[in-house]
Amino acid sequence: MLEPRILPADEIVASAILDHVRLPAFLVERTAEIRYSNAAGMATLKDANCVIEVGNLLCAAHPTDDGRLKAAIANACATGERQTIMITNTRSPRPQIVRVVPFHDDNAPVENGALVFVRKCEASDEVFAGSLRQLFRLSAAETSIASALVYGADLEQIAEMRHAKITTVRTQISAMMLKTRTRRQGELVALFSRIGTLP
């Protein structure tokens, strides 16, 4: 099981920030070795429903997702770009969204690591969902798709999450574009993202 360890100064700052994040969050090395986990992350590892710890490595609970998780961590460390993937939740039909954010010490680029955040892929924020329904008269399905788009899911992942065909998801996105008077999917996501950040 994951053991506490003494962290270098830059990682102490990261761990202090992670302790205040309610999402499961992990500080990992390029190899997916866990350096630190916040309380929500430890609880998620204990539940073992989407991510697990195997030999001090952060792994996806579902074997088919594990390679994608490791690749996302390695890519974030190598390129310095954020990565977003969806992984299977073994106890729910709704997947989890994993966002991997590069984390490194400018003085030691070889030691690049990443912050990994795990979030449910659902319209859990009733204020956001209510705003979309009220402003644009979106259906429950459209609100769920809008939430997934804002969290970074692609069409294939949304179709998988909703047990639907990609053509059905595309049709629903087209309907949302008509309702919101946007012309492209990027505009739609930007609009929903702005609404999600309103107080």
CATH code of the domain containing 193:
1.10.10.10
C-alpha distances in Å from residue 178, one per residue of 165, 166, 188: 20, 18, 10
Neighbouring-strand partners of residue 115:
27, 101
What does the pLDDT look like over 112-153, one tens digit per residue?
Answer: 789 999 887 654 567 777 788 888 999 988 988 888 888 778
Tell me the average pLDDT across 73-93: 83
Tell me the average pLDDT across 181-196: 86
Q: Identify the domain boundary among 101, 120, 139.
A: 120
Q: Is residue 75 part of a domain?
A: yes
What are the b/e assignments for 54-77, b being 16+ CB within 10 Å?
eebbbbbbbeebbebbbebbbbbb
Q: Is residue 2 part of a domain?
A: no
Q: Is residue 1 part of a domain?
A: no
DSSP 112: -
Q: Identify the domain boundary among 64, 92, 120.
A: 120
pLDDT at 58: 95
CB atoms within 10 A of CB 171: 12
**94 shares its domain with 172:** no
- For the chain, percent of residues with pLDDT exceeding 90: 30
pLDDT at 31: 94
Number of domains the chain contains: 2
Q: Identify the domain boundary among 102, 120, 138.
A: 120
Phi, psi dihedrals of residue 72, rounded to the nearest 5°: -65, -40
Q: Is residue 144 part of a domain?
A: yes
Q: Is residue 54 part of a domain?
A: yes
Its pTM stands at: 0.60
Q: Which has more pLDDT, 123 or 77?
A: 77
Q: Is residue 44 part of a domain?
A: yes
Q: Which has more pLDDT, 119 or 40?
A: 40
